[in-house]
Structure 1
Amino acid sequence: MYYKIIEKFGPSDEERWQNYLNWRQLDLTCFDSIDGILKPDLFNPKSQEDWANCVNEDFKLHLITNLNYARKILQRYHNANIVGVETELDEDYESEEGLLGYDIIDGSISVLTNWGTDTENLINPHLMPNGLIGDLAQALRIRNLLRQKFPDDPHVKKSEVWAVYCVDE
């Protein structure tokens, strides 16, 4: 499992939260998606210790490999939290305790929560109140359906299903 230090976003953001819900036509109670626009990654390796504790491949430098180090980094920020992620999932993945749900990620952007207004209702009906999909098979089906319907969309073409976990801070 990898760890992300991300900016918080949710109901406490009041006007920004309401604007988002209105735009996406959603009725969420919280926001556990790891969308990089609404909840940007805050960790950017700078020191040797940072580099020794990050994923140094595939443009995933924002992912931290060590939970204790992630907790140490979290202390640098006041409006942030840690989430655990498992990346590039397939149908054989078995979830662990603490799973919040599944996100479909293109680079750092969530296809579930930040890919237009979903006028075709391909995504919104399947979202849990936290903005994630609760079932891996459903998340994989949605990703595959989006790839079929929008084969030329660069956000969909390279998207991956990720598991998102709650981490005790």
Structure 2
Amino acid sequence: MFPWNNNQFPFDQSGFMKHLNKMNPKDVESYIQNVMKNVFSGDFTQGFPFQGNMTGNETSGFPFQGDVSKSETQMKPQPEIFETNDFVYVKLPLSSKDNKNLKLQHTNHQLILINYPKENEQSKYMLPSPVKRKGTRARFLDDYLEIQFIRLDESNISEIDISY
């Protein structure tokens, strides 16, 4: 039925699997970084705010932290922030005994941590989508603080009158 050899469609699968098992994730990441630099020339991270050097040589930073120097960013633990269809999750590296005075506050778009990472300090992180004011949960799991927000469906449509 097909005019080509099935062993090579879409590619030689046995050879591909052997090659795939030998791959080092850091080599793949450095290859992708080199390709991105060649395609976008120079520092491509400015055009993609959530991209950065993922090899671990420097921190990628979170794009909405404000004016923070690199030395402060490297010292401040960076949370994992991700969303699903119904929730927004924030995962902070923190054990339950390390910070008893931690206070959590949030707006629809921002998480505010008081006394984090040190006493009398405040950290703010933008959330990827709006969240509801109520229904937020926080719990400690394996030296991490996990915060679960309920996403806010913004289906409110406003009509604007045009004056002539």
Q: Which has the higher helix share?
A: 1
Q: State if a TM-score over 0.5 links the two structures.
A: no
If the length of structure 2 is used for normalisation, what is the TM-score?
0.21
- Say which one has the larger Rg: 2
